[in-house]
Structure 1
Amino acid sequence: MDQVSSEIITFYENRYDEAARLERRPQSRLERIRTLELLREVLPAAPARILDVGGGPGAYARELLADGYRIRLVDLVPAHVAQARSGEPPIDAVVGDARDLPEPDASQDATLLLGPLYHLHERADRVRAIREAIRVTRPGGPIAAAAISRFAGPVDFAATARFDERMLAESRRLITDGVNDSSIGFTVAYFHRVAELLAECREAGLADVVIHGIEGPAWPATEAAGTGPNAETIFDAALHLARVYSSEPDLLSASAHLLAVGTAPLG
């Protein structure tokens, strides 16, 4: 196991509760709602076979199981796999690396990469992970790959009143370097520009790629509102805007997360 993988496993097993993440904050609630909406728009009809790569403890996998899909989850973190297997309903889950998936060629009707791309520093590794998703997906099957937007961190710190001189310096650095400074709080990660994500998907061979902004441009307002008197009104407005501007090119980079949706090439 390489050092990067080891650091990621240590972070999620000892320092961070991924199982609770999607309900913890307004931004995360937006992420969950919009990711599921986007997936349900592009996935083939149940009971199609879906491979959930980097699926963590299984938050999305369980939703898709409830929809009638046949799900297999692959995650780098053994604790996540154990949580996925032991939850209700239990998920077919195995430990694995997105760069070398333990699945046969064209064995899946669709593949999800909702975590791996932003934990791979090197472009070659990210492209390799997308190619692996293509390899295991039947020709014409959909593939969805998530990324963290380059400027999400500084915007988040500003919206939640945590912005300081250190974050100001980080904001300037991110203009030219997307590698996360893990001393600030998150683990090994890479933050994408929209054009960069699109280029990596195309280099890997993904066809018909469309980039979506998952949370939309108003997600910082939901964080700033907190639990105040207008919180739910602002959240509802942000959700509507996320839907309306989902693939609007001029607003994509304002979202906290990006979702590249394409298909495994025919032939």
Structure 2
Amino acid sequence: MLRPEVLDYYLRGGERDRLRAGAGRLEFLRTWDVLTRTLPAAPADVLDVGGATGVYAGPLAEAGYRVTVVDPVPEHVSAAAGLPGVEAVVGDARELPAEDASVDAVLLLGPLYHLQERPDRVAAWREAARVVRPGGLVVAATISRFASLFDGFVKGFFRDPAFRPLVEQDLAHGRHGNPDDVPRWFTSAYFHRPEELPGEVADAGLVLRRLVSVESPLWMSPAALADFLDDPALLLDVLREVEEEPSLLGASSHLLTVAARESVGGL
């Protein structure tokens, strides 16, 4: 289900600590903030597709949601299943192990990263549309087309001459891939332009609700973030005000797309 280099990246713990500090911590706090304002009230059934070890599933279960993680990495599934109130199964976003119209919300907070071809991404969107109930929501995360460009300057990756060709490849067509498939800088992925997302949503038969900037450009200021992440109330409050500003979408490392399955009588 996963390309070998992608599976290897996750088996080596590539994402284990990423959301705990710096820009990763901002990503987690902002994603959680958007989810708490977007998902239907608990108790509700949430399918967390690509939910890995349950970094969001665990808090959702604590908040009273009935959560099932679907992930292609068996080790992730074992870890998620050990969380209180969380069920977990091995599966692929393009062929979900769930009945039609069986959940109130679907999270795609990882699968669209690693589906480099548009038909595969639309297939994942369509599966989410199939399993969510009429009126239910699908929330999907994507990486910005410009993430590696900005990240290269923030983290000094451009000092390595192999990094610039990778960035130029990302900018040209969005398909991120490391030389010789060795994941020196993330792993094989697809980086979206914001304007691509409405078309993918529409092709899946869903209705676009919102495009949300997760980190905004602040993810490129690690020193400034350090002053706010221990007590992030002000930071989160201010970022809510600009989270749908179109001119900032491409500068955020991640975007969240909120879509809905049309109810019988319309939305």
Answer whether contact 1:50 1:110 (CA < 8 A) is retained.
yes
Equivalences for 1:193-232 in 2 at 5 Å?
193-222=193-222, 225=223, 231-232=226-227
Distance 2:238 2:147 in 1: 17
Q: Give the match for residue 13 of structure 2.
A: 16
| Distance (Å, rounded) in 2 between the aligned partners of 1:189 and 1:19 | 18
1:96 counterpart residue number: 91
In structure 1, list runs of 5 or more residues that go unmatched: none
Identity level (%): 46
Aligned residues: 257
When structure 1 is superposed on structure 2, of 30-39 and 241-250 the one drifting more is 241-250
Q: Between 206-215 and 114-123, report the one with greater CA deviation.
A: 206-215
Q: Deviations over 1:148-200 (max 9, x none)?
A: 11111221121123323433333333222101123342222100000112221
Match in the other structure for 1:250: 247
1:147 counterpart residue number: 142
Match of 1:44 among 11, 24, 40: 40
- 1:41-80 alignment runs, 5 A limit: 41-80=37-76
TM-score (ref. length: structure 2): 0.89
User: Relative to structure 2, which stretch is displaced further, 154-163 or 109-118?
Assistant: 154-163
The C-alpha deviation readout for 1:55-114, integer Å capped at 9, x for no partner, is: 000010011011100001100110100111124x25200000000000000000111000
Task: Give yes or no for contact 1:140–1:266 (8 Å, CA) kept in 2.
Answer: yes
> Secondary structure at 1:19's aligned position in 2?
coil
TM-score (norm 1): 0.89
The answer (yes or no) to whether the contact 2:44–2:65 under 8 Å persists in 1 is yes
Report the secondary structure of 2:212's partner residue: strand
2:125 equivalent to 1:130: yes
1:172 maps onto 2:168 in alignment: yes
Distance 1:233 1:107, change over 3 A: closer
Q: Is the 8 A contact 1:101 1:132 kept in 2?
A: yes
**What is the identity, as a one-letter code, of the residue corresponding to 1:56?**
A
- 2:110 is the alignment partner of 1:112: no
CA contact (8 A) 2:169 2:176 kept: no
Bigger strand fraction = 2
Q: Distance in 2 between matches of 1:242 and 1:95?
A: 35
When structure 1 is superposed on structure 2, of 208-217 and 65-74 the one drifting more is 208-217
Q: Structure 1 residues 166, 174: closer, same or farther in 2, change over 3 A?
A: same
SS at match of 2:133: coil
What is the one-letter code of the residue matched to 2:37? E
